[in-house]
Amino acid sequence: MSTDSRAVILARVSSKSQEDEGYSLDSQVKLMRGYCESHRLTVDRVFKIAESASKSEQRRIFQKAMNYIETQSIKNLIVEKVDRHVRNLHDAVETHDWLMADENKKAHFVKDSLVMHKNSRSQEWLNWGIRVVMAKNYIDNLREEAMKGWAEKLAQGWLPAVPPVGYVTVVESGKRIHVPDKKTTRSVQKAFDLYLQPDQSIQTIAKKMEHMGLTTRKGRPFSKSNVQSILTNPFYIGINRFNGKDYPGAQTPIIREETFKRVQQKMHRGRPDKYRRHDVALKGLISCVNCGGQVTWQLQKGRYYGSCQRRSEGCKGRKYIRQDTMEVRIMERLEKLVCPSQDVMEWVLDSIRIDFAQSIDNHEEAQAAIESNIKRLQAMDDRLYDDKLNGDITLERYRQKHDDLSNQISQFQEELRTFDVDIERRHHHAVSIIELSQKAAQFYQEKETDEKREILIELFEKMTIENDVISVNYTKLTKAIAQKSEESRQIMISQKSDDRTDDNDKNNRRGGATLGSENELRSIWLGRRDSNPRMPVPKTGALPLGHAP
């Protein structure tokens, strides 16, 4: 046999607990170095495989070690035991083929007192084969037990994996569960809402998430593929997706199901144009009052015409309506949303943000107070139990006090469950709608079909047609915006009329409005009209923003 004394050491921990204890890999290497010294072998290189590494990473390191042995013509492979080297039949076949290729190659299994080579006796090959099967059985059993644990955890509503950004893992009653992360939840909610805006894409959301400070667990910015995974992860609406299957989750959803579905619709509608027979901005948005059916579209002589399916008697014989005719009506409604003074709108948005920042502080303080009361009562109940064990109180007294404390805890927990954790998401969404309403008329003329449809979905509650008459209904918020914009226009018109009779007022004009008229406009948007045009005090609730500070 060859006198080649070079050797490669392969160390591997067999369990996560051994790795956590921090000695298994080092102790293996120390043992095998001593073995090499006693057998006059020179250690050329050491490879270590940690149990915490992923399956693909473990395979990569194993393959790297075997490739190194082959390319460097190493004749000796040193491993602590067979089960540290072979974890499946594929590894066993690969090792067998390596040994069979050259009679000088040896695999040393130190603790098994086994040295395998091409000319090993049949009894040694039997010993090797038994240990390979036992090693495979050990790994299969570990996987089986792990799958049982995963199945039980999924049955209880918890994901047996690391939660996505927006959640953290905590230990509660000895169990690892996932709860919303107060540091990142709001940013994740904002990312979902921003994506629904017409001018946003996965790439722009990735940049905005970076600006908001959202990063991966390694502190790196999210890539576009990461952002897509976040926006398509049903974990945020209370569904645990594991190994391709969905399970009902027990975690608190931080994204509304409606918002999540709309994000999926926007993300997956980008099909090639050749599959879109009639890609009309109004497709699926207009219904017929008489029959309740949707208006469908067809292209004739370069123009789109729409009508319902004409299934009812009242719809039969009705004329088709041209798309551009319907869009004239839509543009009228969009233009009515625009406030004549954008300076006032900027002030309105700033005031809303300031007012909300103050209210959210009070909101968080109230929530923290409830959580503190729950912890205090639980601590009292624990002390009460200790008193019972020590014989300081009677069993009857313990039960009475325990029931009383349990009822109080349940009341606080119910109050916490019904607490409006969605307040900031709704606030940001409302502000984005106000901002969109001021640019929607311009955007509708400039944007592509899909983005036009997104604008209409955001700003209009429904659009109908009845007897060739088109009706476009605002949402509750956009209706208030349209009303206040119209009041603002009337004030501006009145002010211009007064200006024509009073030249001195021209010196006070700024952006088409005097200081007095601008204050009056502010009063319309965030308070009551006042005969004294002083600086108004913002009053929450002037716009239906969907929150109650």
From CA 493, how far away is CA 329, in angstroms rounded?
Answer: 23
Query: Is the Cα dihedral 418, 419, 421, 424 positive or negative?
Result: positive
Phi, psi of 347 (to 5 degrees): -65, -40
How confident is the model at residue 236, as a pLDDT?
93
pLDDT value at 326 more than 90:
no
Query: Sheet holding 106-109: strands in order across?
Result: 42-49, 6-12, 76-79, 106-109, 114-116
Do 129 and 209 lie in one domain? The reply is no
Instruction: Provide the CATH number for the domain around residue 215.
Output: 3.90.1750.20
DSSP secondary structure letter of residue 234: G
- With a CB cutoff of 8 Å and minimum separation 6, the contacts of 288 are 294, 295, 308, 315, 464, 465, 466
| Structural domain for 501, as ranges | 337-462+473-549
Do 148 and 209 lie in one domain? The reply is no
Distance of CA 277 to the CA centre of its chain: 33
pLDDT value at 416 more than 90:
no
How confident is the model at residue 527, as a pLDDT?
57
Residue in 87, 96, 68, 83 with CA at minimum distance from that of residue 28 = 83
Tokens 């918020």 locate to 477
Query: pLDDT exceeding 70 applies to what percent of the chain?
Result: 83
From CA 206, how far away is CA 195, in angstroms rounded?
Answer: 10
From CA 84, how far away is CA 112, in angstroms rounded?
Answer: 11
More confident position, 500 or 211: 211
- E strand or H helix at 12: strand 6-12
Tokens 């017929």 locate to 288
Do 123 and 199 lie in one domain? The reply is no
From CA 24, how far away is CA 11, in angstroms rounded?
Answer: 9
**How many domains in the chain?**
3
177 contacts 170 by C-beta, under 8 angstroms: yes
Do 211 and 102 lie in one domain? The reply is no
Widest Cα–Cα separation across the chain: 117
More confident position, 361 or 147: 147
Confidence band, pLDDT 50/70/90 cuts, at residue 534: very low
In a domain, 280, yes or no: no
And the tokens for 262? 């709309």
Tokens 């303080």 locate to 365
How confident is the model at residue 121, as a pLDDT?
93
Do 429 and 399 lie in one domain? The reply is yes
Phi, psi of 469 (to 5 degrees): -105, 130
488 contacts 521 by C-beta, under 8 angstroms: yes
From CA 374, how far away is CA 152, in angstroms rounded?
Answer: 28
In a domain, 505, yes or no: yes
Boundary-marking domain end, from 234, 268, 302: 268
In a domain, 157, yes or no: no
Instruction: Provide the CATH number for the domain around residue 79.
Output: 3.40.50.1390
Do 203 and 126 lie in one domain? The reply is no
Q: Residue type for 537, please?
A: V
Do 143 and 178 lie in one domain? The reply is no
Do 181 and 130 lie in one domain? The reply is no
Summarised one tens digit per residue, pLDDT across range 117-167 is 999 999 999 999 998 888 888 778 877 887 888 888 888 889 998 999 999
In a domain, 523, yes or no: yes
Do 358 and 388 lie in one domain? The reply is yes
**Residues present in the chain in total:** 549
How confident is the model at residue 541, as a pLDDT?
44
Do 426 and 532 lie in one domain? The reply is yes
Residue in 184, 279, 280 with CA at minimum distance from that of residue 230 = 184
380 contacts 476 by C-beta, under 8 angstroms: no
Considering only 148-152, 177-181, 466-470, 473-477, which range has the smallest mean pLDDT?
466-470
- With a CB cutoff of 8 Å and minimum separation 6, the contacts of 495 are 513, 514, 517
DSSP result, 130-155: HHHHHHHHHHHHHHHHHHHHHHHHHH
**Over residues 74-103, mean pLDDT:** 87
In a domain, 310, yes or no: no
Summarised one tens digit per residue, pLDDT across range 491-533 is 888 777 665 555 554 444 444 455 556 677 777 776 544 444 4
From CA 457, how far away is CA 455, in angstroms rounded?
Answer: 6
> Is 33 exposed, middle or buried (CB count within 10 Å of its CB: 0-12, 13-18, 19+)?
middle
In a domain, 304, yes or no: no
> Is 76 exposed, middle or buried (CB count within 10 Å of its CB: 0-12, 13-18, 19+)?
buried
Confidence band, pLDDT 50/70/90 cuts, at residue 306: confident
How confident is the model at residue 269, as a pLDDT?
65
From CA 191, how far away is CA 166, in angstroms rounded?
Answer: 11
Boundary-marking domain end, from 232, 253, 268: 268
Do 182 and 85 lie in one domain? The reply is no
Summarised one tens digit per residue, pLDDT across range 42-67 is 999 999 887 665 677 777 888 898 89
541: helix, coil or strand? Answer: coil
How confident is the model at residue 52, as a pLDDT?
61
From CA 297, how far away is CA 350, in angstroms rounded?
Answer: 42
DSSP secondary structure letter of residue 215: B
Summarised one tens digit per residue, pLDDT across range 17-37 is 554 444 478 888 999 999 999
The helix/strand count (H/E) of the chain reads as: 17, 15
From CA 356, how far away is CA 361, in angstroms rounded?
Answer: 9
From CA 530, how far away is CA 549, in angstroms rounded?
Answer: 24
How confident is the model at residue 517, as a pLDDT?
64
Residue in 491, 539, 537, 538 with CA at minimum distance from that of residue 518 = 491
What does the radius of gyration of the chain's CA atoms come to, in whole angstroms? 35
Kindly report the number of other CB atoms within 10 A of residue 279's CB atom.
16
In a domain, 243, yes or no: yes
Summarised one tens digit per residue, pLDDT across range 219-276 is 889 999 999 999 999 999 999 999 889 999 988 899 988 889 989 988 876 544 443 4
230 contacts 214 by C-beta, under 8 angstroms: no
Q: How far is CA 302 from CA 82, 299, 305, 320, in A?
A: 75, 6, 10, 15
Do 87 and 171 lie in one domain? The reply is no
The verdict on pTM exceeding 0.75 is: no
Task: Specify the pairing of strand 175-180 against strand 296-300.
Answer: unpaired
- Work out the mean pLDDT of the chain and round it to a whole number: 80
268 contacts 198 by C-beta, under 8 angstroms: no
How confident is the model at residue 538, as a pLDDT?
42
How confident is the model at residue 275, as a pLDDT?
39
Residue in 60, 67, 57, 51 with CA at minimum distance from that of residue 11 = 51
In a domain, 305, yes or no: no
How confident is the model at residue 511, as a pLDDT?
44
From CA 291, how far away is CA 350, in angstroms rounded?
Answer: 45
Q: Residue type for 507, please?
A: N
From CA 459, how far away is CA 286, in angstroms rounded?
Answer: 14
Summarised one tens digit per residue, pLDDT across range 141-155 is 877 887 888 888 888
Boundary-marking domain end, from 104, 120, 152: 152
What beta strand segments (E) does 41-139 contain? 42-49, 76-79, 106-109, 114-116
Alpha-helical (H) ranges within 161-237 are 185-195, 202-211, 224-231
Query: pLDDT exceeding 90 applies to what percent of the chain?
Result: 20
